[in-house]
Amino acid sequence: ANPSLLILAGDGIGPEVMDQVKRVIAWFGDKRDLSFDVSEDLVGGAAYDAHGTPLHDDTMARALEVDAVLLGAVGGPKYDDLDFSVKPERGLLRLRKEMDLFSNLRPAQCFDALADFSSLKKDIVAGLDIMIVRELTSGVYFGEPRGIFEEGNERVGINTQRYTEGEIDRVARSAFELARRRSSKVCSMEKANVMESGILWREVVQKVRDADYPDIELSHMYADNGAMQLVRAPKQFDVILTDNLFGDILSDCAAMLTGSLGMLPSASLGAPTGDGPPRALYEPVHGSAPDIAGQGKANPIACILSFAMALRYSFDQGEEATRVETAIEKVLADGARTADLMGEDGGTPVTTTQMGDAILAALDQS
Ligand code: NAI
Ligand code: MG
């Protein structure tokens, strides 16, 4: 059977960028004899409009069956006043929770043609290709006790940084597996100097490496120094493994080393299902961009790169993933730019569809 893919385009520019991904998927069927069993459904505001819920139970069930889910974006001003329980974001949160996607992969890759776009000097970022693995389902965003409590005559806000050995173990394995597909180098970041959870994190990560991944070159770094090193000399890293809170901050920081939100893909992985690949959801980092929705201005590259990640991590098609990335590199080198990739002086931007045309043409030549 063909590998199965559930497409949830969502709201705003989600469907616009996903249209270009669908063309790339069709190209693989036509030209590379690589076909997918694609189903499509609603998520977010679009699902709310149709069903009164941001994720229908049938969609959730389908997401648990398929080899991978590809999501566009959810949300928009139309839904801002909805009750919290049916807000578009809740659809995405439910997917992440029920698929138990504990490992969030955020690449920071610098396409040479865009190196001038970085906020850093060109030689610091040119050729940059690193991956941050962020624990996504535990830590201080979820730990109990949490809340705002009365204490004496004032209130106190409390969150708890909490990690079990099992939670650290599984995300460490996911980072080591990933590293084996790259340079086999992992740097784990925590604050073991001041946090007990950090001490345990460092200990468990080292133990997993020593027991089952002796081929991995593992180093440890305090997360604050890590932030500094990311901006000073990011190319010293390959895979960075870190917890939910530090990963949130470090991945946003790393993302901006390379320029536009319209270029950034992501993957969220769960536990392997039997002998198969892990549960997986792929999505661009950006949101539904209501300010440009419906105008043909959206950059489809983040979503297409998310599909490339699916090719590599869910469908074991690393070479085909590289084919897509190389086509994008070529299109950028040839000068095609959506509006978000243009400086002040500008030129004429290409539309979402024209960017798709250019990428398909580059694939044809590959
Ligand atoms: P956003 O990422 O949608 O947009 C931020 C800025 O980047 C905007 O100026 C937008 O035009 C631009 N931008 C984003 N993606 C782009 C692309 N592919 N091409 C060109 N320009 C792009 O974040 P914002 O404005 O904070 O949120 C808008 C809506 O999206 C909100 O409802 C928010 O809740 C939702 N959102 C959804 C996410 C998701 O589905 N995972 C993630 C972040 C926000
Ligand atoms: Mg963030």
Residue ranges, CATH 3.40.718.10, the chain: 1-110+260-366, 129-256
The atom number, within ligand 1, closest to the CA of 291 reads 11
Distance CA 12, CA 47 (A): 13
Helix (H) or strand (E) holding 241, with range, is strand 239-242
Looking at the DSSP assignment, which residues form a beta bridge with residue 285? Answer: none
CA of 271 to the centre of ligand 1 (A): 29
Using the structure block, give the residue that is written with the tokens 């440009």: 292
Distance CA 284, CA 328 (A): 15
pLDDT bucket at 192, cuts 50 / 70 / 90: very high
The predicted-structure confidence for 147-188, as pLDDT tens digits, reads as follows: 999 999 999 999 999 999 999 999 999 999 999 999 999 999
Q: Which ligand is nearest to the CA of 9?
A: 1
| ipTM exceeding cut-off 0.95 for this assembly | yes
Q: Which are the contacts of 48, defined by CB distance < 8 A and separation ≥ 6?
A: 54, 79, 82, 86, 88, 91
Assigned superfamily of 129-256 = Isopropylmalate Dehydrogenase (3.40.718.10)
Class in CATH terms, 1-110+260-366: alpha beta
Q: Which ligand is nearest to the CA of 92?
A: 1
Report the predicted TM-score, pTM, of the whole model to 2 decimal places: 0.94
Burial group, residue 283, by CB count within 10 angstroms (0-12, 13-18, 19+)? buried
- Whole-angstrom CA distances from 217 to 16, 221, 222 are 41, 13, 17
Let me know the angle formed at the C-alpha of 88 by 65 and 267, rounded to the nearest 5 degrees: 50
Measuring from atom 36 of ligand 1, which residue has the nearest CA? 287
3-state SS of 95-162? HHHHCCCCEEEEEEECCHHHHHHCCCCHHHHCCCEEEEEEECCCHHHCEEEEEEEEECCEEEEEEECC
The predicted-structure confidence for 8-67, as pLDDT tens digits, reads as follows: 999 999 999 999 999 999 999 999 999 999 999 999 999 999 999 999 999 999 999 999
Distance CA 29, CA 261 (A): 29
Annotated catalytic residue 11: no
* Predicted confidence (pLDDT) at residue 285 exceeds the cutoff of 90: yes
